[in-house]
Copies of this chain bind each other. A is one copy, B any other.
Amino acid sequence: MNGADALISTLIANDVTACFANPGTSEMQFVAALDRNPAMRPVLCLFEGVATGAADGYARISGKPACTLLHLGPGYGNGLANLHNARRAFTPVVNVVGDQATYHRQYDPPLSSDIHGIVSPNSLWVQSADSPDAVASLAAEAVGASYGPPGGPVTLILPADSAWLETKAADPVLAQKPVRPAPDGAAIDAAAKAIKAAKNPVVLIGGQACLADGLAQAARLQAAGVTIYADTFLARIPRGAGVFAPKRMQYFAEMAMAELQGVDLMVFAGTTQPVAFFAYPNRPSVLVPQGCQTLSAIARAEDAVAGLTALADALGAPKTGPAPALALPDAAPTGNLTSYAAGASIARHMPEGAIICDDSVTSGAGVAAGVATARPHEALGLTGGAIGDGLPMAVGAAVAAPDRKVISLNGDGSGMYTIQSLWTMARENLDVTVVVFANNSYRILNIEMERTGAGAAGPQAAKLLGLGDPSLDWVPLARGLGVTATRCDTAEQFEAAFAEAMSQRGPRFIEAVI
């Protein structure tokens, strides 16, 4: 057994069974070993940003890491942005980055670079397996480290000779899977006491607190008179009928501050103090009202479900909290196609258990409003702000949950970042419906330009904010990548196209011209 076999068999033993890959020469032993280890599913991605975003989406849904297979420093670099998003989502990802043979590194061949330096900023753990005997134990360490808590990407560097040489350390090694510690009882008590004393208390939840069990406990707090807010961008949150819907922290600082006016206590559960996505001249950085008390009750790494349960119990909260009833739009939307009209159609036809992968930027609010009381579903958000994760996440989510409908919502600017994702959807026949909201613009930047005090865009600036001239023609693009595609200019067309997509299996692409 060589090092590559040892690696894959240890990954499989630790339930890492999907590999999103774009390999090169230094990874050929890993590739060959896949045929001897068929429990690992290889998924080819035509660009590494697809592979890393898919691993992110896979882990968000399955709760366990996938591995990626990447070609040295530049291959990792191509996937870096979506690993930034994964780091901000606290999702476990095991990156396997091939490297030169150990003895060849000293000659600094053209593809060599400082891999350790490139990967460190987005890796919870980095090691290089510099002998075949080190591979299995380091792979187990990598898997364990990826779970955190609260989890994130890790990187195992695999020199070519560590993969091709025989190893005596051939037995799979099992990872230590860490457990989230219970929150400090005193912190929970302090939070309960402060909430009782406050006039207008808020609990801000994030991370694990926003999964189903955490939301159920947060709903109890709401029922006890505490206002619950969730972070603006969430790795994963159940939504829709029967699911408690916390308020969301507004993206724009001034709107968030207006909404929080009068709040005299903010307690953080599974997250930290809210801050503005960007600073702007004369606008606040920290989104906490003046004079408002803040308390960290439950750290990100702690068991937020246990903590929220204890807090609700301490407050004598009822056993259950509010949740919306199912309410779907009666009629199909008509007329101009807007993100709100699209949201209504999505609500009408999206089946229970659907997964929405959201990178739709300025079009997101319309859909979110539409589906608020739709059939229960889950939403995966753009946690790190690096656009181009909506299509790759959908690849990974669909691999993780083949029986659930996946809906990928994208701006046109975002969608172009990792358009190669469509090909993987076609090859793997993934049940993903892709929507691109085509407004021919980096619309958010037109808004942000004014907010940063930079003034209105002149002709030079406008060139950098607009996607027109020429307009992207998405339908042939999608078809060229192997996905059936439709263009919708009206709400009626979108309604029909989306309904049809929901009635069938396999990848579908809808250009929503808004």
Binding site for B on A (CB under 8 A): 21, 23-26, 28-29, 31-32, 34-35, 38, 40, 42, 44, 46-47, 49, 69, 73-75, 77-78, 80-81, 84-85, 87-88, 100-101, 103-104, 107-111, 113-114, 117-118, 120-122, 160-161, 164, 233, 273, 275-279, 281, 285-286, 383-386, 388, 413, 416-417, 419-420, 423, 426-427, 444-445, 448-449, 452-455, 457-461, 463-465, 467, 469-482
CB distance from A203 to the nearest CB of B (A): 20
Pick the residue among B113, B122, B161 that contacts A122 (CB under 8 A).
B113
Q: Which residue of B lies closest to A477 (CB)?
A: B480
Q: How far is it, in angstroms, between the C-alpha of A103 and the C-alpha of B282 when the chains are bound?
A: 12
Pick the residue among B47, B73, B384 that contacts A74 (CB under 8 A).
B384
Q: How far is it, in angstroms, between the C-alpha of A469 and the C-alpha of B446 when the chains are bound?
A: 40
Q: Hey, which chain B residues are within 8 Å of A480, CB to CB?
A: 472-478, 480
Whether B104 pairs with A463 at a CB distance below 8 angstroms is no
| Number of copies of this kind of chain in the complex | 2
Whether A464 pairs with B44 at a CB distance below 8 angstroms is yes
Q: Hey, which chain B residues are within 8 Å of A470, CB to CB?
A: 423, 426-427, 482
Q: Which residue of B lies closest to A453 (CB)?
A: B164
Q: Hey, which chain B residues are within 8 Å of A109, CB to CB?
A: 275-278
Other CB < 8 Å A-B pairs besides A101-B279, A109-B276, A423-B472, 20 of them?
A23-B464, A29-B452, A31-B461, A32-B449, A32-B454, A35-B457, A38-B460, A47-B417, A74-B384, A77-B386, A80-B118, A100-B278, A107-B275, A110-B277, A110-B383, A118-B118, A160-B279, A164-B281, A472-B480, A473-B480
The 3 closest A-B pairs by CB, nearest first: A35-B458, A77-B80, A477-B480
Q: Which residue of B lies closest to A40 (CB)?
A: B460
CB distance from A427 to the nearest CB of B (A): 6
CB distance from A140 to the nearest CB of B (A): 23
Q: Hey, which chain B residues are within 8 Å of A21, CB to CB?
A: 464
CB distance from A485 to the nearest CB of B (A): 10
Q: Hey, which chain B residues are within 8 Å of A386, CB to CB?
A: 74-75, 77, 111
Q: Hey, which chain B residues are within 8 Å of A114, CB to CB?
A: 120-121
Q: Which residue of B lies closest to A465 (CB)?
A: B31
Q: Hey, which chain B residues are within 8 Å of A273, CB to CB?
A: 107
Q: Which residue of B lies closest to A71 (CB)?
A: B386
Q: How far is it, in angstroms, between the C-alpha of A12 and the C-alpha of B449 when the chains are bound?
A: 23
Q: Which residue of B lies closest to A383 (CB)?
A: B110
Q: Which residue of B lies closest to A79 (CB)?
A: B77
CB distance from A21 to the nearest CB of B (A): 6
Q: Hey, which chain B residues are within 8 Å of A118, CB to CB?
A: 80, 118, 121
Q: How far is it, in angstroms, between the C-alpha of A419 and the C-alpha of B80 when the chains are bound?
A: 19
Pick the residue among B81, B101, B164, B479 that contacts A454 (CB under 8 A).
B164
Whether A416 pairs with B104 at a CB distance below 8 angstroms is no
Q: How far is it, in angstroms, between the C-alpha of A160 and the C-alpha of B451 when the chains are bound?
A: 12
CB distance from A458 to the nearest CB of B (A): 3
Contacts known (A480-B480, A481-B477); A445 close to B29, Cβ less than 8 A: no
List 9 A-B residue pairs with CB atoms under 8 Å apart, sorted by A's residue number. Answer: A31-B457, A31-B465, A32-B458, A32-B461, A74-B85, A78-B80, A107-B285, A118-B121, A476-B479
Q: Hey, which chain B residues are within 8 Å of A26, CB to CB?
A: 278
Contacts known (A445-B25, A476-B480); A277 close to B111, Cβ less than 8 A: yes
Q: How far is it, in angstroms, between the C-alpha of A383 and the C-alpha of B113 when the chains are bound?
A: 13
Q: Hey, which chain B residues are within 8 Å of A32, CB to CB?
A: 449, 454-455, 457-458, 461
Q: Hey, which chain B residues are within 8 Å of A117, CB to CB?
A: 117, 120-121
